[in-house]
Structure 1
Amino acid sequence: MNMNNIVEFTNIPSSTLPTKPENYSSTTAWYSALADMHLAQLTFQHNDAHRDIEDSRDKYVARHLFRRLARDGRLSFPPDAAVDEPPQFRIFSEDLRPSNVLVDAGDRVVSVIDWEFAYVAPGSYEPFMEAYEPRLETFLCVLEAEEAKMQEGGDAGVAGVAGAMEALALEGGTAVPLSQRMRRSWQDRTWMISLAAQNNWAFDFLFWRYLDRRFFGESEDWDHHERLHLLTEREREAMEPFVAVKVEEEKERVLVTWDEERAAARLAEVMI
């Protein structure tokens, strides 16, 4: 979705983005590609890219810091996970629901359909959170009970489904049950990393509200002022010319068409 939105909102050629079929070998490479696309959209989106000069600076700093976190591998592991744990990727679908599961007359699962929104993702994946947490806890309790059944080898049907799902994994089984990984991801807020990486519209809020303080410490205003020193000298020098371009673009609402050569040259100026 992010790639479709970038092409739609920026009118750049698709060749500017990582459109070639590629299997990322690690979560670090995957997050790095997503971080690059966040900066690409901010660079090329001519209309409605920012609210004002300060917002433009906030967006610039946030994206460069996020790219560094991704490049350094600091987004890839939960804080209490072993850093030498091999990267794992699993089939993931935000659209998977009971209506996707077909059962026979004996209530045995015979098929799972409609995988068009499924993809392979890293396994280490307030009002809303307050309302959602009790429902998550209910789900995890049921999941833990089913995991216990699988370990005991009780229900043959459950064991069969477990074996079939295990066969879908790209790597071997893990000693840590899924329920524990999900609970840890919720408690440590590591799920926000993937949400921020995949959604340009939510990136700035999530970065300044949650990720910034987690990786760089407390901040009074949740903006770029206290984080400028974290940028490299080249990144700081490039910020004001970048902001000036965005301010100038806001003066005229037009659709800009980028050819491959111009787009590649512009991207090289900001991907430092």
Structure 2
Amino acid sequence: MDMGAALNMPGLAIEYRPILDPNIEIDKLEMLYGQLTDILLQMSLLSLPPTLGGRDHQGPFKIWCDDSRPTNVLLYSNLQFPLWWPLLEQPEYWPDGIKAWTKAYDSRLQIFLKVFREREDVAIERGRLDEEQRPSGPMQESWESGDFWVAYAARKNFAFDAVFWQKLDGRFLGPEAGWESGAELLDEEERKELDTLVEHKLKQMEDRELAWEPDEEADDDKSSAAEFRQIDK
């Protein structure tokens, strides 16, 4: 069994995307989160050396696995794994929309960070971690400042549009901002380039169909379109 199955809502059919059980016992959640934080804590201590060479000097670089999600973590029958985040589902797929996802995520994130800090304390006591090396601090700061959404939009191209309008546009351009406010920041040459891009995209809409795979069936396309409409909620 994988950790995604242990955290998933009971009775959710296999054809549906996983979602964190809203009624999961806190002790069980903290136990599973605790094992995840051990992995993240160990990864946070690994770095690749900096590159050398004048202006090209960069680094050191932290090790990061973007696919270390619960469904990729195997468990024994007692829910211990042999040897990623508070909610199983991504915000753009959340059934009630990104706003509801944010509320649910904040609640579970605080449990996750509580467990993380406890594991950090143990690592510090054992001399494996220095106080200034705690990953939980930057995680909390990123969520509270909204930088979390900047990083998420940069990494998730299919979610960029929804995340930008709901989380980033108002933060950087003001609460009453819209696309017109952003356009006012462009110079004349940039606006001409934007007009050219819009014309190009409109022509693409007339000339071709969007498909995930070359041999994908029409019914699958309809299913995907319906799923992505959840973004607008």
Higher relative contact order (CA 8 A, sep 6+): 1
